[in-house]
Structure 1
């Protein structure tokens, strides 16, 4: 079994430079015209790349596309992001989940623009190590931004790249941290040393995994580097890498309580100690314990007269969440509650879980007057 990157690349001899050339040539002819690519090509602003890499963490491109354009329209530069409120940042990235990444990006923007006037040039980090000094930037993100925006020769290894490498070297493995390190070292040897090589190589390798070397049955007839692929040669490309064990989920029951007053809806902010979605605006919210008690994520409210109107399903990381949506027959002000119009609520709710509950409420209200929910 291979133990090092050198072991993996040894059969290729000097062909690894040809591999990089064929991959980047394919990418330049076939790359997708994503908005972050067109913005960076037009403006040369690393901020466009940075935002995309943060958004694409554990989030599909389809989900990112509308949010990316909304975010960039709201914060067209790192200066605008640095000056924003935390609420404004949450609203701009609503629906994407994993909100800690955007809070850390907000902090990093403030670090980069400290003591600068709006519009003054930013002293951007240009290499892998310098990017890692910023809040919220790990190995993957530092490699992606430094290589794509600045041509720094550092390979980017995500799940797509792990699958490509597993097939290139015909590895019947479940990629883990040990293999990630080996793949990182192999990628660092393969990546070209001069711009735009690192950018095109990394984006090409990731795009290859997204569109050609896909899970299950790869499209080998479209692959520009199939001649290098040991799995293709052995006919095992649909068998490697091995499938990861199925994730186990914890079932959680969440209660959301909706109050309406003069066509406005009452929202509270989840506490900084909330189990889910810390600090976000929500309906009054609580988690049901095994014995039926409620652990409040927002300030507690009086539940007299609460009526359940339906259930919605949601998932957060390793949690399967059943959300019980209830109406209250009287509007009660509690400390911290703010009342928003229906349109404002739509923008204030950054979590898809809360938005699903709100859309359920809206559907019910289309057919049932509010007072009818509480008729005995």
Structure 2
């Protein structure tokens, strides 16, 4: 088991490889870990770190000093405002080519660009040096990128987790075998409806996606998920999509918030009543034992804030409570420029990931959102527990407001 340990402000982050699980050791827990390192007296936290994150049960003196140094650094590190010392996830836009003709999308298979593989490998090396645990590979159509396997091998060699998003185009048993041999960790299949009719409202490629689900189920070894974009025209279908995921033995369903299209418009925006119904369904799912895991991406912050509500407290808080652009994530576009995320189109040609993370004025502006909220956000009762997607900027339309 390989674990990336990273000192953050007032907390120690541990990322387990493979698997991608993480834990944030903070406050009193840091004291518990430090006490064990000094005295050897165990406690439940230490036992969990030993069992799940590879903390050595009987550390050598050198190992003890290593972890003590990490803990001490949590008191001195100074990350940029409202962000981590480095991203937790980097997205590489591999290509703008795609064979599908989805509504609102500008990609084509014939006319498009590919990310230079040397540029991509340099970015991966920088990410590994900064202890970035997760790398997302996307397009366009990820499988249309000719150097995909090369980058997957690089990510595996650097000890990071790789995730690819696919439509199902070009995916067959042989391609899956090649991806596994290259070291792919997680595969996300894009599907916006349980039936072709519902899916066609926003995506093409229904049969290709269904074929991918069948092949991944047949394989049974690769972690596989469905990426589902929430829209007003497919939200009533979501329970059936979850049943479809269960029938194909998926590891989970990820709910994505709809992003602006090429004209910066939001298609089929969700109404408040629909979002609240979705939240109620998800709460019921969480109460059921052995239900299909349903994850909500952080940038769908209004839904996460609604789900986080309890009588006295809202659990959706901290740096992961919403949009992570420039806070715990960044992206490299197909031209080799850095952007806050794959949907915030503000490329900057910085010489390195570290220089971009520390000095970008665009990232600084995103990190100051709390001082520059829209009037509707400022008036919302959930504003302390919500950080809405910045892809639409001040044109963001929140379903709850």
Q: Is the TM value for this pair above 0.5?
A: no
Normalised TM-score (structure 1):
0.23
Larger-gyration structure (1/2):
1
Normalised TM-score (structure 2):
0.22
